[in-house]
Amino acid sequence: MDPRSNPYNPGAGLRPFALTGRDDDIEAVEVLADRATRGLMSRSMVFSGLRGVGKTVLLNELAGRTQQRNWFTVQIEADRSHPERFARSLAVEFINGARSQRRWFSKRNEQVRDALRTITSFQISLGLDGFRFDIDLDRSSARANTGDLYIDLADLATSVGVAASESGIGVALFIDEMQDLTAEQMSAVCRSCHLAAQRHLPWFVIGGGLPNLPKALAEAESYAERLFEYRTIDRLGDEAARSALVLPTAAADVVWANDACEFALSESGGYPYFIQQFGKSTWDAAIGPSTISLDDATFGIAEGQQQLDHGFYASRWERATPTERRFLEAMAPDDGASSASSDVAGRLGKSLSSLGPARASLINKGIVYSPEHGSIAFTVPGMADFVRRRARAERP
């Protein structure tokens, strides 16, 4: 079939043709926004799950919906390798968020002026040059200019939250890869939510990250468990997975044969990224003009698996040192389930303490995470199978 009309979109954060299986999560944020419009408070939200389950796609969808409501919407992504960029990203995106509030510039009441002063002050405190609002900045009363994010983000939450409330809208700060924030940054985010809630201000953080994110937030601030509504994003259920696979082709008057569809769904495991990859490669491999056969799916999924091996998995394997690769090989027998650190040590014939540096490095690289004390797990579904395949290929 013509690859130019291929309806599947494998890729980081690319919205699929059919965003299925996330209606409850979308509705939860819609309820949050409706309650805020009525002056009722809700907790901020955190979505956590493995790589490939569609967290970034979901956050983008939710951000689009708050923008449609004309909410003050900010989207940023944490970067473990460059933690200093978090505050700078906040400054830039708060400027952009304020510029999108056209009504603010026609009203320019005191609450709006205070919010614009605070945003500008925050930007200046970081030494950033760029857009400046046409306002008088009284340095003696300026806020969010201490250089301490714990204080400054709370100032932003207060001043921007007040202006938003007066305008009948809310503030939505979306943070992707939230587990990569430092403990200090997480603490600052928590404080901003806590302070805004105490002052009944419509300031909400919507975060996305790996399964260890709730634990990391709780370690940063003990009250974090009460600040957020925690929602797990997992593989799609049977009906949602089937819809994600067949609806894109149905719109192009192409159908999946039943056996081809069942095979593709089984191989994907219900993971949205795999559905998109296998759908794309199968479409490109299909011969018939209007039906995808089992032969098409068999060939296409084999090609799709190679694409995953060469990109999705290999990018992580290549970042691991030889010592770290042996650590990953020792996790592989658990078939993707959590591995006890003591079991990994036993398989390697090493002491538990000697594995600490490799374990910490793999966590820092985002290849594994610690679901609970004394255990370790892959961040990517199917990684155990890949590690076994790669290890066999590299073994002399």
CB 318 within 8 A of CB 363: no
Q: Give me the pLDDT at residue 238, please.
A: 97
Tens of pLDDT, residues 61-70? 999 999 999 9
Residues of the chain short of pLDDT 70, as ranges, are 130-132, 134-142, 395-396
Tens of pLDDT, residues 59-110? 999 999 999 999 999 999 999 889 999 999 999 999 999 999 988 877 778 8
Q: Give me the pLDDT at residue 372, please.
A: 86
CATH code of residue 384: 1.10.10.10
Same domain, 41 and 152: yes
Structure tokens belonging to residue 150: 């714990």
Same domain, 291 and 160: no
Same domain, 46 and 180: yes
User: How many angstroms separate the Cα of 278 from the Cα of each of 14, 29, 245, 248, 362?
Assistant: 15, 30, 9, 13, 28
Same domain, 105 and 186: yes
Same domain, 382 and 353: yes
Among 232, 253, 269, residue at a domain's last position: 232
CATH code of residue 103: 3.40.50.300
Same domain, 139 and 212: yes
Same domain, 92 and 37: yes
Report pTM.
Answer: 0.93
Structural domain total, the chain? 3
Residue 352 in any domain: the answer is yes
- E strands, the chain, are 44-48, 72-77, 171-176, 203-209, 228-232, 255-256, 291-292, 339-340, 368-369, 375-378
Q: What's the DSSP call for residue 15?
A: P
Residue 193 in any domain: the answer is yes
Same domain, 383 and 247: no
Distance (Å, rounded) from C-alpha 178 to C-alpha 131? 27
Distance (Å, rounded) from C-alpha 297 to C-alpha 266? 11
Same domain, 302 and 326: no
CB 274 within 8 A of CB 52: yes
Residue 49 in any domain: the answer is yes
Among 316, 339, 373, residue at a domain's last position: 316
Residue 247 in any domain: the answer is yes
Domain that holds residue 270: 238-316
Among 196, 217, 232, residue at a domain's last position: 232
Same domain, 211 and 67: yes
